[in-house]
Amino acid sequence: MPLGVAVGLAGCWVLFALIVREPALDSPGFATVWPAGGVAALWFLLRAARPLSIDTALLAAAAVGVNMVLGADPPLNGVFTVTNVAQTLFAAWLLRRWCPGLWGCGGDRPLDRPRMLPRFGTALAVASAAGALLGTAGAALVTGQPDVMAGVLFFGRNLVSALIVVTLGIVLGHWLSRPRPRPSLLHDATVVELVAATVFTGAMYGLAFAFDALPLVFPLLGATVWFGLRFSTVVGAAHSFAVGVATQTLTMTGVGPFAAVERSDVGSLLAEFYIATIVVTGLALSTGRDERQALAVELRRTQQEAVYQVSIREAVIGSMTEGLFVLDDTGELLVHNAAAAEIFGLPVAGLTWQELATRSGRWVDGVPMSEAERPSVRALTGEAVHDAELLVKRGDGTDGVVSVSAIPLPRDQLRGRSRALVLFRDISTEHARREELATFAGVVAHDLRNPLAAIDGWTEMLADELDAHTLTPDLTREFVSRVQSSSRRMHQLIRDLLAHATSGQRDLEVGQVDIAELVGEVAAARHAELQVSVEPVPPVLADPVLMRQVLDNLVGNALKYVAPGVEPQVTVRGCRSDTRMVTVNVADNGIGIPPGEQERIFEEFHRAHERDYEGSGLGLAIVRRIIARHDGTIVVRPNPTGQGSVFEFTLPAYD
Ligand code: ADP
């Protein structure tokens, strides 16, 4: 706090000390410094003044001056000055020590909780008592006669003075330190109510002090209650300050119920206790109300925060594609998301743990799972389970595979239950792919091993014949031709495997493709122009490289799968099937597809005529994949001419 303000407060101190120097009391001069004691305490508090400081010097000088004006002789002046300064330093020191969080005492909290009051009041009371003791003892030394009553009065006045001035100073100072817009001084009340409460206070005090023969002090508390409950703490403290000053001033000037008491010093003491009572009552009411309101605001904020957190949590778990549920050891589902129900093909509402458990009772290899092996049950006993694969029976009766992780959650202390978080995802497609890959690898290994074994066998025989010197040119030719045939088969398989792998990976580069022209090229490459006839086909939007692969496979099969001695005849034609697609037919006069095989020949490695025709069983799988990547379909049916088959596929038309 700037020095200017300190000087101002020192001026106030002098002013107060002089204003009330007129008391009709016959007690020593130090009793008159009221409410200057409170002003000094506030000044030292806000400035955090130290014993050796300009503030102490200023206060001491002011006290000496005032005491001189009041006519105290030098020894008494010394006692009063030391008492004033010491008590002020002590009060400020105690407050800063005992209420460090309070605004003005080193902290930034307002005086807004009743539990702060005892420390606050005790600090002021202890300082006032110390001052009274020091002053009384000093005066007794100087005058030679101890005046206990004067000491008690001094204690009361300084305490009351400190209570009303320091309280007002702290609550007002805190309010002024708040950023604008500051909270309303009226609190919940209106200006009209403030005027009414002020008029009520004036009327009540007027009555009580005018008719001092009647004990009308008790209704005065009504005014304090009104201000304490309805207006801000600042206004309440200002009210206590005003009525305190009025009460003490009137009592000192001989007006009112306290002055009517026979002994003026006893009357003055009663007035002091009355003022202390109203200050503390007013403060207790307003701080109690502030604390309740702060708690209510905090509660509302906590509730809003909780609602917000719940909404976030629901949004997060609701948007997850993984299934999630939280289970407790009674088998109750505490939380679950929509995906949990969807993965099981069940309705979201009314989902139960029992239902999920009965639908997921087997490991992925079909082995039944015991209750204790269940990932969720294990997590409830404290064990974390990661990526366990389970079979599930979906709501529509189909089977699926899920990967489950279950994690133990902290125990629900409130209800004494263990809880577990279970997360799972549908890996049916992934699992099927994995199985497919395993089969694929198995077949590839098998199909490569066969020709290799043949090569081994024939070369071994060749070596044996050579050793036995029985190798003839005809035999050599025979062996070499067998080895060549096996190696051809391996080549073909490897080529088809590569084609199969790339048919799914390669990025589509679509453009206008003339199917008839491609068929012509394929036929020419196979030297089969005479066996393949092609009619014009509307242009299609496709990847030319992949299309060539499709036609090469289909035309190649049509030329290959013919009965011995039959001259193959392949016809390719096409037309617009609808506004978007073109249908292409590849018809042959071959051996046809056995009934029941029409679908299966499109699967990897499936061969309908294994014995007499070479092949890998991959060609049609490649064809179907490429057509599907072009959003088309392919089917096969018997040739309506009665012999052979017709492969019919669709492709997007090029416009
Ligand atoms: P591959 O010809 O290498 O055996 P494909 O996937 O091309 O493999 O064909 C799968 C099976 O479909 C063939 O083994 C054969 O049994 C049957 N097939 C394919 N095309 C024809 C056709 N035009 N006529 C009769 N059967 C066919």
**Spacing, Cα 153 to ligand 1 middle (Å):** 120
Ligand 1: residue whose CA is nearest its atom 23:
558
pLDDT of residue 1: 65
| Residue among 586, 620, 626, 634 to mutate when testing ligand 1 (max atoms within 8 A of CB) | 620
Residue pair 154/136 in contact (Cβ under 8 Å)? The answer is: yes
Q: Which residues pair with 646 in a beta bridge?
A: 587, 637
**Spacing, Cα 576 to ligand 1 middle (Å):** 27
What is the rounded average pLDDT for all residues in the chain?
Answer: 90
Question: Closest ligand 1 atom, CA of 558?
Answer: 23
Nearest to 516 by CA among 542, 537, 547: 537
pLDDT digit string, tens, across residues 522-572 = 999 999 999 999 999 999 999 998 999 999 999 999 999 999 999 999 999
> For ligand 1, which residues put their CB under 6 angstroms from it?
553, 557-558, 561, 588, 590-593, 601, 607-609, 615-621, 645
Tracing tokens 């999920």 back to the chain, one arrives at 356
* Edge-to-edge strand ranges of the sheet holding 634-638: 532-534, 570-576, 581-587, 645-652, 634-638
Residue 311 has pLDDT above 90, yes or no: yes
Average pLDDT, integer, range 224-241: 94
**Spacing, Cα 536 to ligand 1 middle (Å):** 26
Residue pair 421/333 in contact (Cβ under 8 Å)? The answer is: no
Torsion angles phi and psi, residue 385, rounded to 5:
-120, 135
Question: Closest ligand 1 atom, CA of 616?
Answer: 3
pLDDT of residue 484: 93
Sign for the CA dihedral angle at 172, 177, 178, 184 comes to: positive
**Spacing, Cα 558 to ligand 1 middle (Å):** 8
Higher pLDDT, 309 or 10: 309
Considering only the C-alpha atoms of the chain, give the largest distance between any 2 of them, rounded to a whole number of Å. Answer: 156
| Residue among 444, 447, 586, 607 to mutate when testing ligand 1 (max atoms within 8 A of CB) | 607
Collapse the DSSP code of 645 into the 3-class scheme (helix H, G, I; strand E, B; otherwise coil) and give the result: strand
Ligand 1: residue whose CA is nearest its atom 11:
607
Average pLDDT, integer, range 487-493: 88
Residue 231 has pLDDT above 90, yes or no: yes
Higher pLDDT, 438 or 56: 56
pLDDT of residue 21: 57
Ligand 1: residue whose CA is nearest its atom 7:
619
Residues near 587 by Cβ (< 8 Å), separated by ≥ 6? 558, 570, 571, 572, 573, 639, 641, 644, 645, 646, 647
Sign for the CA dihedral angle at 59, 65, 70, 74 comes to: positive
Average pLDDT, integer, range 70-82: 88
**Spacing, Cα 610 to ligand 1 middle (Å):** 9
pLDDT of residue 30: 40
Question: Closest ligand 1 atom, CA of 553?
Answer: 7
Helices and strands (H and E) in the chain: how many: 18, 13
**Spacing, Cα 538 to ligand 1 middle (Å):** 27
Neighbours of 282 (CB within 10 A): 30
**Spacing, Cα 451 to ligand 1 middle (Å):** 20
The H or E element containing residue 404 is strand 399-412
Collapse the DSSP code of 212 into the 3-class scheme (helix H, G, I; strand E, B; otherwise coil) and give the result: coil
**Spacing, Cα 607 to ligand 1 middle (Å):** 6
| Residue among 601, 622, 634, 643 to mutate when testing ligand 1 (max atoms within 8 A of CB) | 601
Could you tell me what percent of the chain has a pLDDT over 90? Answer: 68
Ligand 1: residue whose CA is nearest its atom 12:
601
pLDDT digit string, tens, across residues 17-51 = 776 654 434 444 444 446 678 889 999 998 898 99
pLDDT of residue 29: 41
Ligand 1: residue whose CA is nearest its atom 17:
608
pLDDT of residue 27: 45
**Spacing, Cα 636 to ligand 1 middle (Å):** 11
**Is this prediction's pTM over 0.75?**
no
Torsion angles phi and psi, residue 305, rounded to 5:
-60, -40
**Spacing, Cα 532 to ligand 1 middle (Å):** 18
Between CA 84 and CA 128 the distance in angstroms is 10
Residues near 359 by Cβ (< 8 Å), separated by ≥ 6? 344, 346, 392, 393, 394
Ligand 1: residue whose CA is nearest its atom 13:
607
Residue 269 has pLDDT above 90, yes or no: no
Between CA 166 and CA 163 the distance in angstroms is 6
Ligand 1: residue whose CA is nearest its atom 14:
607
Could you tell me what percent of the chain has a pLDDT over 70? Answer: 97
**Spacing, Cα 244 to ligand 1 middle (Å):** 112
Q: Helix 264-319 and helix 233-252: axis angle, to 10°? A: 180
**Spacing, Cα 608 to ligand 1 middle (Å):** 7
Confidence grade of residue 4 (pLDDT, cut at 50, 70, 90): confident
Between CA 35 and CA 84 the distance in angstroms is 12
Higher pLDDT, 227 or 153: 227
Ligand 1: residue whose CA is nearest its atom 25:
592
Question: Closest ligand 1 atom, CA of 588?
Answer: 23
Residue 306 has pLDDT above 90, yes or no: yes
Neighbours of 267 (CB within 10 A): 19
Ligand 1: residue whose CA is nearest its atom 2:
615
| Residue among 443, 552, 557, 589 to mutate when testing ligand 1 (max atoms within 8 A of CB) | 557
**Spacing, Cα 621 to ligand 1 middle (Å):** 10
**Spacing, Cα 245 to ligand 1 middle (Å):** 114
Ligand 1: residue whose CA is nearest its atom 8:
617
Region label for 615, one of left (φ > 0), alpha (ψ between -120 and 50) or beta (otherwise): left
Average pLDDT, integer, range 505-531: 93
Question: Closest ligand 1 atom, CA of 492?
Answer: 3
pLDDT digit string, tens, across residues 172-181 = 999 999 999 9
Task: Tokens for 174, please give them.
Answer: 């805190």
Collapse the DSSP code of 604 into the 3-class scheme (helix H, G, I; strand E, B; otherwise coil) and give the result: coil
Ligand 1: residue whose CA is nearest its atom 16:
608
